[in-house]
Amino acid sequence: MNAIEVENLTKEFRIYHRERSVKSAILKVLVWQLPRLERFVTLENVSFAIPRGQTVGVVGKNGQGKSTLLSLLARIYRPTSGRITVRGRIASLLELGAGFQPDFTGYENIYLNGVIYGFTRRELDEKLESIADFAGITDHLTQQIKHYSSGMKARLGFSIAVHVEPDILLIDEVLAVGDAEFQERCYAKIEEFKARGVTIFVVSHDARAIARVCDRVLWISNHKLHMDGPTDAVLAAYAAEEQRSGGAEE
């Protein structure tokens, strides 16, 4: 059975442009003219299925809809049209530390975020030491989060999320978090998830990271699914296209 099924997925954002001055805005109201509306399609008619236990990477230039796709799978956004089916418990490594409360300590934020992930107090008590050890910032957990560096917050966020024991793991540009030692711990954790049959969906600009962990790659171009296939083949085609179009991504 597939862990993820995406059928004819389209996501459109609507952007209302405001007037540059109060005077021009008032004039538009007086003549019954509505604000200018722009429709921006980030994903168009995308379809794919991911079997349980497969690790899939997503590549593409900035602004093509990669992170939007992850947000749709995580149910942060709703599709404009099409259908998404996700089977299993999800852990999302998207904006690590985004939900932390700055005036709470590291320990307090572990409990706060753990409850959001669905842990009970007893489960968090049992996992607390492991979460702290994995993040590698045990000596700082009695400090308020507002005194943490962005790297420390990301490491703690990653550590909390990977202790969820998910069926599906969504990862967005977080494989470069922390120093080399912590990155190796992250890769080791991902390999552990793979061995347990967890389905993993990865977005990264780092082709080496994609090549290291992924069995298959989706290439998003012009907001559509341009190529879907084995990692080596898709990354080679993507690199060749990047070279033809002028080299490295901005």
Domain positions in the chain: 2-244
Burial (CB count within 10 angstroms: exposed 0-12, middle 13-18, buried 19+), residue 65? buried
The predicted model scores a pTM of 0.81
Backbone angles phi, psi at 39, to 5 degrees: -100, 130
Q: Give the separation between CA 62 and CA 225, rounded to whole angstroms.
A: 14
Q: What is the pLDDT of residue 96?
A: 61
Tens digit of pLDDT for each residue in 178-206? 677 788 888 888 899 999 999 999 998 88
Q: List pLDDT tens digits, range 105-133.
A: 999 999 988 888 788 899 999 999 999 99
pLDDT at 194: 93
What is the per-residue pLDDT for 178? 62
Q: Please report where in the chains the tokens 């168009």 appear, as a residue.
A: 44
Q: Indicate the pLDDT class of residue 89, thresholds 50, 70 and 90.
A: confident
Which residue matches tokens 């296939």?
229
Q: Is residue 220 within 8 Å of 238, Cβ to Cβ?
A: no
Rounded Cα distance between 62 and 67, Å, is 9
pLDDT digits (tens, 9 = 90+) for 75-84: 889 999 999 9
Q: What is the amino acid identity at position 147?
A: H
Contact 58, 67 (CB under 8 A): no
Residue 33 confidence (pLDDT) above 80: no
* CATH classification (class only), 2-244: alpha beta
Give the percent of the chain with pLDDT over 90: 50
pLDDT given at position 249: 46
- Tell me what pLDDT residue 250 has: 40
